[in-house]
Amino acid sequence: MTRQDRTNNVADLRLMARRRLPRPIFDYIDGGADDEISLRRNATAFADYELVPDVLNDVSEIRTETKIFGQASRWPLMLSPTGLTRMFHGHAELAVARAAARHGLLYSLSTMGTTRLEDLAQAFAGPKVFQIYIFKDRGLTAEFVARCRDAGFHGLALTVDTPVAGNRERDRVSGLSLPPKLTLRSLLSFALHPSWSIPALTGSKFDLANVSHKIDALSSGPMSLFDYIGGQFDRSVGWREVEWLAREWNGPLAIKGVMTPEDARRSITSGATGVMISNHGGRQLDGAPAPIDQIEAVRNAIGDAPDLICDGGIRRGSDVVKALALGATACSIGRPYLYGLAAGGEQGVDRLLTLLRQEFERTLTLAGINDIASLAPRHIRHRTGRP
């Protein structure tokens, strides 16, 4: 029995991750923008919803299979894209993707990932989505589309909530640099956290694998990743670019970062097949609404067919049940699996997914629901009336 096997929930894995990681790295995962209001609200908003159970329904078997991005999923959960994953564990994205595949779930690779998309696709046969940006350099975005098609990715998630980087004050206080620099302070951190992997610290293997060729090509001298990324965000991006990307890709495409019914409708009329309601886990616009509170209005606006993924704040399997009852197709998680990864690598992610799955199934059983398709608005109630 490993140490992470003794964890009971996401909160336990978070504490284990905090003990294992140097503080600046933990804060990079755990933190949010400005006063972290959205970060907190994303999770606490779930507590404002009550589940209203049916009783005396045969719950000896429960159907949880669904489709997300057109791909089969064992239950309605997927793994959100997160950048810089090698900083948290030496096995990085591959460890997460392998655990996701074992659980029959979709994995999304970030543009800012530390594994080349072709390497991930080769090592991982499961359903996979690539998270893309419309960069100033449109050629780079077009290149990603072609590479994803060649590598066999099943869908794209276009992140639209990042015209500039959010204001993460924890990172400034901690002096986090990317890649992490070898200084006296970071060496000390490493000595204090021997289970954290050295490649992350030295930067020797630390690489934004999918865009590094551009960094090399663009910079004559040393250029920080922050400089490059900051320089590539394009504040002029609009719906025309979404239409262009939808045509170019011509496959399952979700717009990640949509909050309102109007933008959700526009996403679909612009050619997307779904939306991810998201405020980037509270890392971008602080004060943005909690995704769970936007589901009903967005579902009403786009109708039944498009994927509607609630991304952010999920910390219990019961949260997924609530999102589905409000009209979501599925939920997506970021920090929870990163806590698992930092706590115990692939096994840590495995533990996290097992715990959430057990909570999800137990909640459905207790609520008298034997098929996720039968979850309906009558199973959920907002404590204070509608948000």
Which 86-115 positions form the footprint of ligand FNR (CB under 6 A)?
110, 112
Nearer to ligand FNR, 331 or 369 (CB): 331
Distance of CA 81 to the CA centre of its chain: 4
| Closest-CA residue to 140 (of 76, 212, 72) | 212
Q: Which of residues 53 and 289 has its CB atom nearest to ligand FNR in the complex?
A: 289
Per CB under 6 A, the segment of 147-155, 165-173, 199-207, 277-285 that binds ligand FNR is 277-285
CB of 214 within 8 A of CB of 133?
Answer: no
Measured between alpha carbons, how far is 343 from 353 in angstroms, rounded to an integer? 13
Among the residue ranges 171-179, 296-304, 330-338, 352-360, the one whose residues contact ligand FNR (CB under 6 A): 330-338
Q: Which of 312, 317, 340, 344 binds ligand FNR (CB under 6 A)?
A: 312
Query: Nearer to ligand FNR by C-beta: 66 or 80?
Result: 80
Smallest separation (angstroms) from ligand FNR to the CB of 91: 16
- Residues 123, 97: contact at Cβ < 8 Å? yes
Q: What are the residues whose beta carbons fall under 8 Å from the beta carbon of 48, sequence distance 6 or more?
A: 382, 383, 384, 387
Does the annotation count 91 as an active-site position? no
Closest CB to ligand FNR among 96 and 364?
Answer: 96
Q: Name the segment binding ligand FNR (CB under 6 A); options: 99-107, 121-129, 200-208, 307-315.
A: 307-315
Binding residue (CB under 6 A) for ligand FNR from 278, 294, 318, 370: 278
Judged by CB under 6 A, the residue of 265, 316, 335, 357 near ligand FNR is 335
**Interacting residues with ligand FNR between 205 and 244 (CB under 6 A):** none
Up-side HSE of residue 230: CA atoms within 13 Å toward CB?
9
Nearer to ligand FNR, 38 or 189 (CB): 38
**Smallest separation, CB 333 to ligand FNR (Å):** 4
Binding of ligand FNR by 159 (CB under 6 A): yes
What is the C-alpha separation between 98 and 121, in angstroms, rounded?
A: 11
What minimum distance in Å lies between the beta carbon of 249 and ligand FNR? 16
Q: 196 with 25: CB under 8 angstroms?
A: yes
Segment near ligand FNR (CB under 6 A); pick from 177-185, 260-268, 275-283, 316-324: 275-283
- In the complex with ligand FNR, the residue whose CB is nearer, 42 or 189, is 42
Residue with tokens 């964890």: 7
Quote the least distance from Cβ 170 to ligand FNR, whole Å. 12
Kindly state whether residue 4 participates in binding ligand FNR, applying the rule CB under 6 A. no
Give the H or E element holding residue 257: strand 253-258
Q: Pick from 334, 340, 344, 345: which binds ligand FNR (CB under 6 A)?
A: 334
Here the contacts of 246-249 (C-beta below 8 Å, separation 24 or greater) are 246/270, 246/271, 246/272, 247/271, 248/142, 248/145, 249/145, 249/148, 249/149, 249/156
Interatomic CA distance for residues 276 and 236, integer angstroms: 21
The residue within the footprint of ligand FNR, chosen from 207, 293, 296, 311 (CB under 6 A), is: 311
Question: How many other C-beta atoms lie within 10 A of the C-beta of residue 6?
Answer: 10
Candidates 89, 103, 280, 379; catalytic one: 280
C-alpha torsion 255→257→263→264, nearest 10: 60
Q: State how far the Cα of 76 lies from the Cα of 92, in Å rounded to an integer.
A: 24
42 touches ligand FNR (CB under 6 A)? yes
Chain residue whose CB lies nearest ligand FNR: 334
Which of 361, 338, 360, 317 lies closest to 13, judged by CA? 338
DSSP string, 60-112: SS-B--EEETTEEESSSEEE---S-GGGT-TTHHHHHHHHHHHTT-EEEE-TT
Catalytic residues: 280
Site residues for ligand FNR per CB under 6 A? 28-29, 42, 80-83, 110, 112, 131, 159, 256, 278, 280-281, 283, 311-314, 333-336, 338
